[in-house]
Amino acid sequence: VDRKTRCTGDGTAASATPIDGLEDMERCLSEGLVPVSIYNDAAIFQAEQSRIFGRCWVFLGHESEIPNAGDFVLRKIGTDPVIVTRSSDRAINVLSNYCRHRGTEICRADRGNRSHFKCPYHGWVYSNTGAWVGAPHMNEAYGGKLDAKQWGLMRAPQVDVIHGLIFATLDPNAPPLRTYLGAACWMLEALFTLHPSGVRVVGPPDRILLKSDWKIPSDNFSGDDYHLESTHSSTEKIGVTRGFSQSCFIGHSFELGNGHNFVGHDAARTGAPLWGYPPDISSHFDLSRLDDVQRKMVTDTPPTVGTIFPNLSFIRSIGIAQPDRPPAIFTSLRLWQPVAPGLAEYWNWHLEWVFLAEDHADRAYEIGQYNVGAAGMIEQDDTAVWEGPAKASASPWLRAAGAKFHFQQGQPGPTEIPKDPSWNGPGTHRASGFGDYRQLEFYRHWLRLMRQPMR
Ligand code: FES
Ligand SMILES: [Fe+2]
């Protein structure tokens, strides 16, 4: 991988070398097949860091996590640690957490409020805008001067916010965030502007190590309705959920391009228009700010899950209720953070509408945790099955045999689901949850980027 990477002399790297194992993948995808090798492979993982996480817009958190000047949270872009700060000018700064002196990680706290960060190794100090501001023994060590402009923390070249969601990209030449999101902008608007005050996070994000490649949950949340009946059958057996066996039959596919995909469900069949929000909440929503197609979508087929490429996923659903508690709607954002080949960290943020009182937010957190938290009824199922592909990917037997995974549901033939010819929204709509269209779209975009040479 990247064998012919050459240093351009200005610190950037360029490569025109194809990545081993991907030469044939386009043909595989056209046949609805995905090589097992891509889920647990050091070379692929390394290439993803530059080709996917080095140039995509990556989700870092929500504005409500850093409301005040000085607030910061520690996050990652790919495997690179970054400090996301709110400086006194209200700007959001995304700073490399590696000290410019000798590379020690400066900030060790997950969150806090600081105007400055002091490196624990030799004591260089940076402001929360990333500016270099000082070092111990300036006279003796540096003759009293050191060019501050040269030695500030590295800054993500582009940072932007949409509906409170903070994104950054390490690629200075990446298109603007809204261009990158494309039709997914339209979807995010439908999900997050039902009330003008928007949403906020409730509590800090959970983090769980997942013995899975980050692409598996990203592809699952693109709209894998097919797994619900099987993976989560235990919740139906004990009577806390129902209807998973119907998920594909009442599913609606929204393929938005650039690897972004969502799936919704027919509200007439679930009995849950607007996700099932009760009237005391939904009566506050103002759908007049949505276009006609968005309005119809959130009312008739509200999107339940989705993935914004590469690794941000969304879920909004009626939560399984504890036996003594009424059900409630929860919204979560989850990030499938690459850690190492076959290993990811799962981050999970619970969100609630700002206009709702604190007890609603507490309830949203509680029901979100009960369902998709670290020990959630649903998430325990998913995290168990998602380990398989990474293990299979490392199998010498499967590798030697050139094994492929099956994504052929909906290929031309009797199971093909036609595109909805009457769809007036962006992207493609299909009136079914069957078909691997969304997942294949995710992998097609992944392959496009993996094969695109670095500039
Ligand atoms: S490594 Fe940070 S001050 Fe030396
Ligand atoms: Fe699941």
Give the closest ligand to the alpha carbon of residue 121: 1
**Nearest atom in ligand 1 to 122's CA:** 3
Angle at 347 between CA 317 and CA 339, to 5 degrees: 140
Tell me the per-residue pLDDT of 107-159, one tens digit each, with 9 for 90 and over.
999 999 999 999 999 999 999 999 999 999 999 999 988 999 999 999 999 99
Q: How confident is the model at residue 18 (pLDDT cuts 50, 70, 90)?
A: low
Q: Ligand 2 centroid vs 408 CA: distance in angstroms?
A: 20
CA proximity to 184, closest of 348, 294, 43, 64: 294
Q: Which of 95, 96, 100, 101 to mutate to test the pocket of ligand 1 (most atoms within 8 A of CB)?
A: 101
Tell me if 365 sits within 8 A of 316, measured CB to CB. Answer: no
Average pLDDT over the chain, rounded to an integer: 93
**Nearest atom in ligand 1 to 119's CA:** 2
* Listed range (229-233, 283-287, 362-366) with the worst mean pLDDT: 362-366
Average pLDDT over residues 162-181: 98
The tokens for 204 are: 């800090």
Residue-level pLDDT at 324 = 79
CA proximity to 72, closest of 137, 129, 27: 129
Q: How confident is the model at residue 70 (pLDDT cuts 50, 70, 90)?
A: very high
Q: Ligand 1 centroid vs 94 CA: distance in angstroms?
A: 19
Residue-level pLDDT at 250 = 97
Residue-level pLDDT at 19 = 74
Give the C-alpha separation, 204 to 170, whole Å. 25
Residue-level pLDDT at 277 = 95
CA proximity to 66, closest of 41, 83, 52: 83
Q: Give pTM, 2 decimals.
A: 0.94
Tell me the per-residue pLDDT of 113-124, one tens digit each, with 9 for 90 and over.
999 999 999 999
Residue 330, pLDDT > 50, answer yes
Residue-level pLDDT at 17 = 57
Q: Ligand 2 centroid vs 188 CA: distance in angstroms?
A: 21
Name all residues whose Cβ lies below 6 A of ligand 1: 99, 101-102, 104, 119, 121-124
Q: Which of 97, 102, 108, 117 to mutate to test the pocket of ligand 1 (most atoms within 8 A of CB)?
A: 102
Tell me the per-residue pLDDT of 267-309, one tens digit each, with 9 for 90 and over.
999 888 999 999 999 999 999 999 999 999 999 999 999 999 9
DSSP 386: T
Chain centre distance of CA 219: 11
Q: Which residue has the tokens 């549901």?
A: 409
Average pLDDT over residues 387-404: 96
Residue 7, pLDDT > 60, answer no
Residue-level pLDDT at 49 = 97
Q: Ligand 1 centroid vs 100 CA: distance in angstroms?
A: 7
Residue-level pLDDT at 326 = 79
Helix (H, G, I), strand (E, B) or coil at 336: strand
**Nearest atom in ligand 1 to 100's CA:** 2
Tell whether omega for the bond before 310 is within 30 degrees of 0, i.e. cis: yes
Q: Which of 99, 100, 153 to mutate to test the pocket of ligand 1 (most atoms within 8 A of CB)?
A: 99
Task: Give, in order, the Cα–Cα distances in Å from 33 to each of 36, 37, 161, 245.
Answer: 9, 12, 36, 25
Residue-level pLDDT at 320 = 76
Give the C-alpha separation, 73 to 60, whole Å. 9
Residue-level pLDDT at 8 = 35
Tell me if 328 sits within 8 A of 337, measured CB to CB. Answer: no
Residue-level pLDDT at 442 = 98
Percent of the chain with pLDDT strictly greater than 70 = 96
**Nearest atom in ligand 1 to 124's CA:** 3
* Listed range (31-45, 104-118, 185-199, 352-366) with the worst mean pLDDT: 352-366
Tell me if 182 sits within 8 A of 425, measured CB to CB. Answer: no
Q: How confident is the model at residue 6 (pLDDT cuts 50, 70, 90)?
A: very low
CA proximity to 434, closest of 225, 239, 256: 225
Angle at 84 between CA 80 and CA 86, to 5 degrees: 165
Average pLDDT over residues 159-165: 98
Residue-level pLDDT at 14 = 40
Amino acid, single-letter form, for residue 251: G
Q: Ligand 1 centroid vs 120 CA: distance in angstroms?
A: 7
Percent of the chain with pLDDT strictly greater than 90 = 84
Q: Ligand 1 centroid vs 111 CA: distance in angstroms?
A: 21
Q: Ligand 1 centroid vs 118 CA: distance in angstroms?
A: 9
**Nearest atom in ligand 1 to 104's CA:** 1
Give the C-alpha separation, 319 to 332, whole Å. 11
Q: Which residues surround ligand 2, an ion (CB under 5 A)?
A: 382
The tokens for 259 are: 């690897």
The tokens for 96 are: 């490399």
Give the closest ligand to the alpha carbon of residue 106: 1
Residue located nearest, by CA, to atom 1 of ligand 1: 102
